[in-house]
Structure 1
Amino acid sequence: MSDLNVLFRKRIGFPEEELTFEKLDELLVRTAEKIPFENLCIMENRTRGLSNEIVMDKILLQNEGGLCYELNYILYLFLQENGFDTSLVRGVVFNQMKQEWSKTGKTHVANLVQHNGKFFLVDTGFGGNLPLKPVPLSGETVSSATGDFRVEPVKNEHGDYLVHIKLNHKDQDWKIGYVFDSMDHVKSVEELEEIQTIIKEHPESAFNKRPLITKLTSKGNMTLTTDSFTEWEDGQEKKKGMDEKTFKEYKRMYFGL
């Protein structure tokens, strides 16, 4: 096995065995539970250029998390190492508060995996909205511990497939997650660097305003900001206020950061 293959499996606690398509569910759950979605590098102004080595160092050696362009990129490299036919695609997130497409443009990155002649969305970089399973591009609903998900073809200026989400204990109705372009593949790591720059500098970016850390747990999920720590367990929400000292303690205690 390559270093990346060994280190990724070690980070998420996945056994050294053949990775089949049927085992992607388990892989995605373990990834979501072990690698947090977080923007600390951006908030602390310590981003680096992106490369295989830099992303491996950050996530697999320094045991940090990252945003979609890092989390789905390291997953992309791992899937390729294990013989999967996968590509990175770009999409535009729907802003639920403003009910409009994000003005940061195509800054969401996800994996598109081809298996037995069919395509599936595989996303481990969408915060607390993770499907935890490959989602077919056929409109079929996929259900997991986090909720229901489906991907449908659409005619949209930003892409040709729409991701719908209905989170358990949170959403009564379907909501739009993002739209992606199945033909707009990321062709080089320089594209990911451009996305990182937009996320870091754009005035409408959701990730350059305050620290955000979230990850899945066996009973729900937990989210930490400088204002609060929110924990969902079996559909019940518990929330606690934060100060600077407690934020640092919780960051280390619950997320290993």
Structure 2
Amino acid sequence: MTDFQRQFFARLNIKNKEIVSFKDLPNIMYAMSQSVPFENLNILENNFKEISKENLKEKILINNRGGLCYELNPTMYYFLKDSKFDVHLVSGTVYNAANSIWAVDSGHIATVLQHHNELYLIEVGFGSYLPLSPVPFSGEIVHSVTGDYRIRKETTEKGNYILEMRKSNEFLDQSPTDDWAIGYAFYLEEVNVEKANAAQKIIVEHEGSPFNKVPLIVKLTENGHASLTKDNLTIAKNGKKTKETVTEEQYKNLLHSTFGITLNF
């Protein structure tokens, strides 16, 4: 077992496993969603580092921080690679359904895994929208507490596959919908970690980036999810959503108590 695997298991509060099987992946993905928040604080502190296995280990596994897609998905990728899975990183572009436009180009990074000659998308870095298990390229629907997910082969200006999702009313206190929405488009071709660094550069610098302006911290909880900004804490629990205003002092306390993040203010 590698040091990265040991640190990964410790970060997720799960027992070390010498051999990780494909059947173990849903439990591991769920544990990651409960332990590692989706957050952009390093960008706002202007304190981000190059994306590398060593830097991700230090930030996310040792220092108990979270990150954005280009940090969370490569962290899972390195763990899966060390666990002897056939995996590669892929690049995508998120679709902004609210405005019916593509978000910043190539701003998303995910992992593709091959198992028994079948391809699966491994997604652990898409905010609250987490399948919590591998999504097969066969088009089969994956059901998660956060909604339903499937992959469709379709060539767009942003890729040759699409991750589609259908939101869950139980999870997000929204009306259930029969309509599938595009999460993001992606190319199946392998990209290296330099593409993750390019995604970071785009998200940090682009004026259209949603993550370089205000703090956002999101994490799944046992029966819903929690989302924190500088001004508000939103909790979705058993399908009921509450939103409360927070003071600066409460914000700092919540970072630690709810999301496990300690910052040097």
TM, length-normalised to structure 2: 0.93
Give the letter aligned to residue 37 of structure 1: F
Using the alignment, how far apart are the partners of 2:62 and 2:246 within structure 1? 29
Point out where structure 2 has 5 or more consecutive residues left out of the alignment: none
Give the letter aligned to residue 186 of structure 1: V
Q: What SS does the corresponding residue of 2:32 show, helix, strand or coil?
A: helix
Within 5 A, what are the aligned runs for 1:33-44?
33-44=34-45
Give the letter aligned to residue 15 of structure 1: K
CA positional deviation for 1:78: 0.3
| Larger CA deviation: 208-217 vs 46-55 | 46-55
Aligned residue number for residue 199 of structure 1: 203
Please say if 1:213 is aligned against 2:217. yes
Task: Count residues with an aligned counterpart.
Answer: 254
8 Å contact from structure 2 (residues 91, 195) kept in 1? no
Please say if 1:66 is aligned against 2:67. yes
| Larger CA deviation: 212-221 vs 172-181 | 172-181
Aligned residue number for residue 240 of structure 1: 244
Q: What SS does the corresponding residue of 1:178 show, helix, strand or coil?
A: strand
Matched residues, percent identical?
Answer: 39
Give the letter aligned to residue 164 of structure 2: H
Please say if 1:228 is aligned against 2:232. yes
Aligned residue number for residue 149 of structure 2: 149
Task: Write the deviation string for residues 146-170 of structure 1: whole angstroms up to 9, x where unpaired.
Answer: 1111111002111111111112113
Using the alignment, how far apart are the partners of 2:152 and 2:194 within structure 1? 29
Point out where structure 1 has 5 or more consecutive residues left out of the alignment: none
Please say if 1:186 is aligned against 2:224. no
8 Å contact from structure 2 (residues 130, 144) kept in 1? no
Using the alignment, how far apart are the partners of 1:208 and 1:111 within structure 2? 24
Flag as ranges the 4+ runs of structure 1 deviating above 2 A. Answer: none
Q: What SS does the corresponding residue of 2:166 show, helix, strand or coil?
A: strand
Aligned residue number for residue 115 of structure 1: 115
CA positional deviation for 1:176: 1.1
Task: Write the deviation string for residues 184-221 of structure 1: whole angstroms up to 9, x where unpaired.
Answer: x222x332222111100100001001000001111011
8 Å contact from structure 2 (residues 151, 161) kept in 1? yes
Using the alignment, how far apart are the partners of 1:202 and 1:194 within structure 2? 11
